[in-house]
Amino acid sequence: MIREAIVQGQTSLGIEFGSTRIKAVLVGPDNTPVATGSHDWENQFVDRTWTYSLEAVWDGFRACYASLARDVQARYGITLERVGAIGVSAMMHGYLAFDAEGQLLVPFRTWRNTITGQAADELSALFGHNIPQRWSIAHLYQAILNGEDHVGSIAHVTTLAGYVHWQLTGEKILGVGDASGVFPIDVATGTYDATMVGQFDDLVSDRAHGWKLADVLPAILPAGEPAGQLTPAGANLLDPTGALQAGVPLCPPEGDAGTGMVATNSVTRRTGNVSVGTSIFAMVVLEGELKRQHPELDLVTTPAGDLVAMVHCNNGASELSSWVGLFREFATAVGSSVDSPTVFDTLFLSALDGESDAGGLLAYNYLSGEHITKLEEGRPLFVRTPGSNFTLANFMRAHFFAAFSTLRLGMDLLIKDEGVRLDTMFAHGGVFKTRGVAQRFLAAAIGAPVSVGETAGEGGAWGIAVLAAFMRGRSPGQGLGDFLETEVFATTPLEKVDPDPADVAGFDAFMVRWTAGLAIERAAVESV
């Protein structure tokens, strides 16, 4: 059955560029994964800027697809030649600027950079709308403020997902969710806010060398609309073996926040999700505008164009994973052949035995800067006092709590200060593969029930595959929320965890210690 669906091209393929992994998921007619592929990659810190080379983008893209094709061959004994629809997703924001010949003008500046403070502050004040440092428009304006030579040659500015989609199809398009992290969106029209576009053009009229903002930003499409077809050149970029056929329709490229919402069925009002990876962010679909502007909260949209409040933290589970890697290295050194999943499960599960407040231990997961706590750079730290209870269980619990602490600050603003109502919070990301650990601690951090589904570990790659399937197979007039509810999640089991009162009290105690200890983190940035 599955084999025939693959042969007939009754599938949808999603590929997502995460910060540390590129992942591909092929789904069948029922939208469940039938094959996967992946490729690990890492950003580089070059000239004090976080970046990926375009060579790494394409090498990783091809390696990820090849991994998927091998999985198809191994499982079903066939060569992957036909796909029904394709979707590309990637980490949002950042800055990719090209000239009229399609040449990259400066190295890719990723969302992880905190180098646009002046631009973000000035634009936020001008628009009366929070513009975080990682947004593409902040990077563009900062380049103008810096007087960078390339500004006069700009013909096109896009995101990583938009760039890859452009190369595959020839179309300069973004999904509305990804576009909402480039420039503010007018949810009534589904396009860039015209008033703010005019304000920006007036602001830079004497420094933009003749181009207008509307001329250099990608077009916008909502979920469900066709966004071009895979060209022969694009097919060769994806599969140099020549097996993959061109002509495949592509859905609008999306950001990882939007695909996370799809992957957790949280695109309707009063639903939300938390995505945990290199970064960590919460997305809550709003019933209306917020009462006031908050620099800690972004206003973006779902892939369908509905208003969303985002709490985005630059630092997520990377430091936690680094410690797991260290313990695995030790296991290998003493002659153990334990595999990586077992190491993760063993260490993660140990955290459940820790004291409610992690025994007085303190950790910071800041590999990079963090705008919510006003740090331009980060230094991962583990701190204890002579009286702390230094056990493995407490150590692991402290690092879980650290991963969710910055998120807690933003969620307090959203729920307590703004009074936003939230019926359901879903979570996804590889950290949730060990059942009942990260989910339990997240529930304690936000003080709300957290649900995790069986596809939580597949994450955004599955989400963009579902968006491709929505474009390919939705009923006339069918909305994204209805499609997800009736055709994707109708029979998907969810595991719900309510906040444990002891965990909540322990996390609150940890937060007091963590907030006071931010002075240590700042001193480390200044001194190390």
At 458 the pLDDT is 65
SS (H, E, C) 171-186: CCEEEHHHHCCCCCEE
Percent of the chain surpassing pLDDT 90: 88
Q: Give 421-435 pLDDT, tens digit per residue.
A: 888 789 888 899 899
The burial of 121, by beta-carbon neighbours within 10 Å (0-12 exposed, 13-18 middle, 19 or more buried), is given as middle
Residue ranges for the chain with pLDDT beneath 50:
none
Distance CA 11, CA 34 (A): 9
Whole-angstrom distance, CA of residue 50 vs CA of residue 64: 22
Please tell me the distance from the alpha carbon of residue 24 to that of residue 244, in angstroms, as a whole number: 15
Orientation of helix 392-412 relative to helix 501-516, angle to 10°: 80
State the Cα–Cα distance between residues 503 and 193, nearest whole angstrom.
43
User: What's the pLDDT at 219?
Assistant: 98
Q: Where are the domains of the chain?
A: 93-158+183-216, 255-315+410-497, 318-402+501-527
pLDDT of residue 75: 97
Q: What is the pLDDT of residue 456?
A: 54
Superfamily of domain covering 93-158+183-216: ATPase, nucleotide binding domain (3.30.420.40)
pLDDT confidence of residue 457: 56
Check if CATH label 3.30.420.40 holds for domain 255-315+410-497: yes
Cα–Cα distance, 68 to 91 (Å, whole number):
20
Q: How far apart are the first and last CA of the chain?
A: 58
Intrachain domains 93-158+183-216 and 255-315+410-497 with the same fold: yes
Q: What is the pLDDT of residue 184?
A: 97
Beta-sheet pairing, 85-90 with 254-255: parallel
- Let me know: does 68 contact 26? Beta carbons within 8 Å: yes
- Model pLDDT, residue 430: 84
For residue 335, give both structure tokens.
């002659």
